Amino acid sequence: MAVFVNIIVGVLIIAIALATVRLVRGPGLANRVVALDVIAVLGAALTAVFAIQYDVRAFLDVTIILALVSFVGTVAFAYHIERGAHRCRH
């Protein structure tokens, strides 16, 4: 089981690194918002894997809170992008 968890953690860290590259290089604000959301989801997944590995239920609470904050942040960014695009049209 430990080898399997280590492989999962490695894959998640590589995915976070790739999403960070997209966050830095993203051609537009929308791409950066999506990359930030992906990083948050991957961070929540990483926290969930640690919760399973170390059998700590508090990590699952952290995972849920991280996912909720990420969702609210993404909705706020989408609202900001939409309002900004709407203001440019008028």
**pLDDT tens readout for residues 61-75:** 999 999 999 999 999
Q: How confident is the model at residue 48 (pLDDT cuts 50, 70, 90)?
A: very high
In terms of residue numbers, what domain contains 28?
A: 2-89
pLDDT band at 29 (very low <50, low <70, confident <90, very high): confident
Angle value at C-alpha 10, between 8 and 14, nearest 5 degrees: 115
Where residue 40 falls among pLDDT bands split at 50, 70, 90? very high
Number of domains in the chain: 1
* The pLDDT value given to residue 90: 55
Asked whether the CA dihedral 4, 17, 39, 63 is positive or negative, the reply is positive
How far apart CA 60 and CA 62 sit, in angstroms, is: 5
CA 47 to chain CA centroid, nearest Å: 11
CA angle in degrees (0–180, nearest 5) for 46-77-79? 140
pTM of the model: 0.85
- Please tell me the number of Cα atoms within 13 Å of 23 on its side-chain side: 14
Question: pLDDT grade, residue 2 (50/70/90)?
Answer: confident
